[in-house]
Chains A and B, each alone.
Chain A
Amino acid sequence: MRPTLPGSIALSTRLGREIPNAQILDVPPGHAERAKAQMRHHYAAISFERRPASGVYNCHGLTFANRRTGIHDDQAIADILNDDGYLEVPIGDVMPGDLALYCRGAEIEHSAVVLRVVRGVPEGTSLRRVDVLSKCGSAGEYVHVANEGPYRDCDIRYWSDRNAG
């Protein structure tokens, strides 16, 4: 049984700017399985589940808060990217550990961590596939191809903190 959570935690950017966050309750037992079956039916990419459903954190909570809480505010994501030294990188320069941001206009609908970049052999130049680790809302964590799955209609932009120092 999970201990009672505080509902939100102290969280800030590298520069000390406060990040609003919320730990939301889990869905009732059985609901997650119902949702998972439906998701797998509609999104073939959602197949490898690393971790089951949790309301405690969302995609941004996985990407920016190490699963401790959920971040539900776009401005907070913009603050983190700015304060933590993230820069957008072209798809050809993406490396494992970088972030995939799924955007709809100026809005960031989803985020994920790049796990693997598959390039052509032997020269290793042409990008073939990017695999990401995604926490899908209040559902589970899944490993999937970046441009497949429930957020495939978004514009994917890659960001990296490799030059943040």
Chain B
Amino acid sequence: MIATFDTGAIGTRGRTMFEPLLSERVLAEGMLASNVRSLWRRLARCADVRDVGRQLASDPTRIRALCGFVRSLLTADYDVRYRHPHDIAIAAALVLLEQSPLAEARALMHALKRESRPSLHWVRVMAEYCDSRFVDERHYGGQWPASAEDDLAPPTHVVYRSSGEARLSNGSIIARAG
């Protein structure tokens, strides 16, 4: 059971947009992972996750809606003797939110890093991992640090520049300031 959530300006389309994260395919890929890096890689490559990422692009309204979607999943009732029924979907959302500098996304990531419930083990370790991968342009002056996983950048792997311009990690400009 998924609780209702505030999708803000994008309305009820948000639920439909994010529902692929709850798919069998995402669940199966998540269950095949042996550690957080392989979980991240499998989810980042998963077609359903990439589809959501493409729709998300770097739209702040949609990113905020995804944060709301994650919060709604977290508040759903479940049997705490087992893993959270949507832990893989939440982990997939964190992969998509990884490089977002929006305050809501960073706050969600930080809150989940402190999550102590055993049923949310994978959510916590994914939040830790994604936050460790987050590159804040203020710290790196716009230079993307080299990484062995650069070829597996998530769909929302976006570099935001102080000029207001946003680029995908491959250099494509996807947004310019007003």
Residue positions of A touching B, CB distance < 8 A: 7, 22, 24-29, 31-32, 34-39, 42, 53, 55, 58-60, 72-74, 104-105, 107, 109-111, 136-139, 150-151
A-B contact pairs, 25 of them (CB 8 A): A22-B121, A25-B81, A25-B121, A27-B85, A28-B82, A29-B82, A31-B85, A34-B27, A35-B27, A37-B24, A38-B24, A38-B25, A39-B31, A39-B32, A58-B34, A60-B34, A107-B37, A109-B34, A136-B32, A137-B30, A137-B31, A137-B34, A138-B33, A139-B28, A150-B32
B32 touches A25 (CB 8 A): no
CA of A107 to CA of B85 in the docked complex: distance in angstroms? 29
Q: Which residues of B, 92-146, contact A by the 8 Å Cβ criterion?
A: 118-119, 121-122
CA of A104 to CA of B41 in the docked complex: distance in angstroms? 11
B121 touches A24 (CB 8 A): yes
A7 touches B79 (CB 8 A): no
List 10 tightest A-B contacts by C-beta distance, closest first: A38-B28, A72-B35, A28-B82, A38-B24, A35-B28, A139-B31, A137-B32, A35-B31, A58-B34, A25-B83
B82 touches A136 (CB 8 A): no
Interface centre among A26, A32, A109 (most CB of B within 10 A): A109
B34 touches A27 (CB 8 A): no
Query: In the complex, how many angstroms separate the beta carbon of A155 from the nearest chain B beta carbon?
Result: 14
Residue positions of B touching A, CB distance < 8 A: 24-25, 27-28, 30-38, 41, 78-79, 81-83, 85, 118-119, 121-122, 148
A73 touches B35 (CB 8 A): yes
B31 touches A27 (CB 8 A): yes
Partner of B83, one of A24, A34, A36, A39: A24
Which chain A residue has the least Cβ–Cβ distance from B87?
Answer: A27
Which chain A residue has the least Cβ–Cβ distance from B81?
Answer: A25
A72 touches B34 (CB 8 A): yes
Partner of B118, one of A24, A110, A139: A24
CA of A29 to CA of B27 in the docked complex: distance in angstroms? 13
